Structure 1
């Protein structure tokens, strides 16, 4: 059922929503979706919408701060990669906009540095002693503030451009992994529950929990704020909106599908997964819990990153070394995209705050 929601919601709602939000902004001169609402429904509607958007962005930021801090705390290699990645993105922006180096040469330079950075991050993880989670929460808040006030060309645009190559590599490997184990069948149950204990430790109905949990992969109002806040101002041609708005959301749907499939398709309760957990340095208690409960014994981040690493590793020959590297690569990819959301959401919240008080100008 989650896969059905991703597929149908993404194609028939999410992608259409993103494209139309982007085009609405473009046709109104590149203004935010909140200003579009003012043009269509009046000034009062704009400020009601702004208040809602600003409040929602605070919730988005809180959720992603927590996710990223947890990821960095449990997988320090992802933190190392993030710290290496940002200077590379800044360098790419400078090469593209402040030198005469061609875009192709600039991109190639950045990709080579990115690959070297990934290898370095896996080998030399960044460890924070003590309460790593709350330390990362503070550091991420500081990063988001700084990144949100920098010019778009300096960090946001080159970083997201570089992200595209990382995303396609991540998706390509996931597809290889899925196809490689396609003939072995699912290891997870076909059905668990229509009301699992997800929110607050009490049974959570399938609807509306699924649209809330699988947001950006299927349908997300946040995308309308992004599309009108930054994307519409960067289009070289209005015709590009279809590929970027509709096509970009289809790509997110592919990522969401893989994120749902991989943990349950192969790693739910595989006889070799316990050995892989040992290779990842998991405690005997965690391994024992996995053998008893399956992949649900792991936390949400581990289900995805370890499931990805194990599946791709099995498809590429079954080497534990490859599987461990791929699990760390999955964490690095996840951290990269969460960081993108963090400073983009902070920038958009700043825009919304400014719009709320534009009457003072």
Structure 2
């Protein structure tokens, strides 16, 4: 438990110290009107209070990732805690801050437009298709996951819950953001708090302890799977997640002042890091060994671990409430996944989204494709989601680094995590079964070489004197 408390203390310190550094490097301008006011349309651009924007952002980004990923990552041992803490502070929260604030500066533009401004038209078109694919994968993963948990809890068949959740997603995708998402999320947030605090108290009063004596860098995975690059793909949400880059623009369109960015974007990622830390700690403490945890995973996946931990530590009723808190996280990310996909496509097609008929023209085909994907094997979907998620993060980090370099700012805060994660995603792509299936001895050097190429590319880019208030240029581009 002491390692968990130390991790939380480091995360909070990171928010106040490193988060402030990131804010100063970016250079907020509180006097500027945000897109919530300049583009107010009553549907997607709606001013909301800072606390509500933070809560929506946290629930948007905290899906199954900071629960299922850390549970799977716990197999590697306490190294997972180190990645969650330092990944959140120096990579994930930085990524989320720049994806949100660059969207604010771009008039609330979606991530493909932001990326295109810094990396070129080809990158923009690639990101348009790639982001929509990622969001569809996220929406499906965050439908099947909670459907299985609710099916186990109620005894009702999983397809029934899939239909119910898809129905909610469709409504939440179409109506103004402050009508359902803005009103239901405080209730969902209460369930989340109960789940987090309740499980921590249950763990504290139990006789459970780490199955590793202290923090060790030793790989404890029972199947000897390599730490690099697998740990950094397995634990995405909760440390670094490209999915967040698709979500931050939603709140960039609702934030009332640029000075709130550190709390909303950097702070929400720190909050998700705490959630990930909770579940990694539970995974390493509730079971006696990595082998015992792996046996439960083999029987029913991370959902079985959630059920075991919640009901054992909190009893019947408390366990049900805790499981509902876990269910809330993916549902509150799934609805905004489809919403973000609708907005990205509407930007690309130049469809005005104020008339509901035009929202339906984009939303209905999206849900049809999402339903088709949901018929695939969940484990296969999850593996593709993991790679696509981190690849999106890499692209966003390079775009942020390029923006900083272009404006003569200290770009290394984005360049370092971008370089590291480029090696990770490419080593994974070339070694994984879903990729090229090469030996890691070959895939690893390929990943390192790709990192070096991207680093040289960035360093060779010259500084271009250009006003960073890019809203008029992007608005003209989207018109």
Q: For the superposition of Structure 1 and Structure 2, which TM-score range results when normalised by the shorter chain?
A: 0.5 to 0.7
Residue number in structure 2 paired with 1:264: 284
**Structure 1 length-normalised TM:** 0.67
Is contact 1:17–1:224 with CA below 8 Å preserved after alignment? yes
Residue number in structure 2 paired with 1:299: 301
Which of residues 318, 326, 330 is equivalent to 1:326?
Answer: 318
Aligned partners of 1:67 and 1:188: how far apart in 2?
A: 29
Structure 1: segments with no counterpart, 5+ residues:
77-126, 197-202, 270-289, 314-322
Is contact 2:147–2:162 with CA below 8 Å preserved after alignment? yes
1:179 Cα deviation from its structure 2 partner: 3.1
Query: Per the alignment, in what secondary structure is the counterpart of residue 220 of structure 1?
Result: coil
Residue number in structure 1 paired with 2:127: 49
Aligned partners of 1:63 and 1:74: how far apart in 2?
A: 17
Is contact 1:267–1:295 with CA below 8 Å preserved after alignment? no
1:195 Cα deviation from its structure 2 partner: 7.2
Residue number in structure 2 paired with 1:224: 245
Is contact 1:267–1:307 with CA below 8 Å preserved after alignment? no
Instruction: Tell me if 1:31 matches 2:109.
Output: yes
Query: Per the alignment, in what secondary structure is the counterpart of residue 31 of structure 1?
Result: coil
208 and 137 in structure 1: CA distance in 2 versus 1, 3 angstrom threshold? farther
Aligned partners of 2:303 and 2:104: how far apart in 1?
A: 37
Is contact 1:10–1:218 with CA below 8 Å preserved after alignment? yes
Deviations along 1:104-146, one digit per CA (max 9) or x if unpaired, are xxxxxxxxxxxxxxxxxxxxxxx53xxx122322332232122
The correspondence of residues 1-361 of structure 1 with structure 2, limited to 5 A, is: 1-76=79-154, 127-128=155-156, 132-181=157-206, 185-186=209-210, 193-194=220-221, 196=223, 204-228=225-249, 230-268=250-288, 297-311=299-313, 313=314, 323-358=315-350
Residue number in structure 1 paired with 2:403: none
- 165-174 or 21-30: bigger deviation: 165-174
**Structure 2 length-normalised TM:** 0.51
1:192 Cα deviation from its structure 2 partner: 7.2
Aligned partners of 1:3 and 1:352: how far apart in 2?
A: 34
Structure 2: segments with no counterpart, 5+ residues:
1-78, 352-477
- 146-155 or 297-306: bigger deviation: 297-306
Aligned partners of 2:294 and 2:135: how far apart in 1?
A: 39
Aligned partners of 1:205 and 1:146: how far apart in 2?
A: 42
39 and 330 in structure 1: CA distance in 2 versus 1, 3 angstrom threshold? same
Deviations along 1:227-278, one digit per CA (max 9) or x if unpaired, are 01x1111112211111111111111111101111113303447xxxxxxxxx
Report the aligned-residue RMSD: 3.0
Number of residue pairs aligned between Structure 1 and Structure 2: 271
1:295 Cα deviation from its structure 2 partner: 7.3
Query: Per the alignment, in what secondary structure is the counterpart of residue 258 of structure 2?
Result: coil
Aligned partners of 1:301 and 1:292: how far apart in 2?
A: 13
Aligned partners of 2:162 and 2:296: how far apart in 1?
A: 30
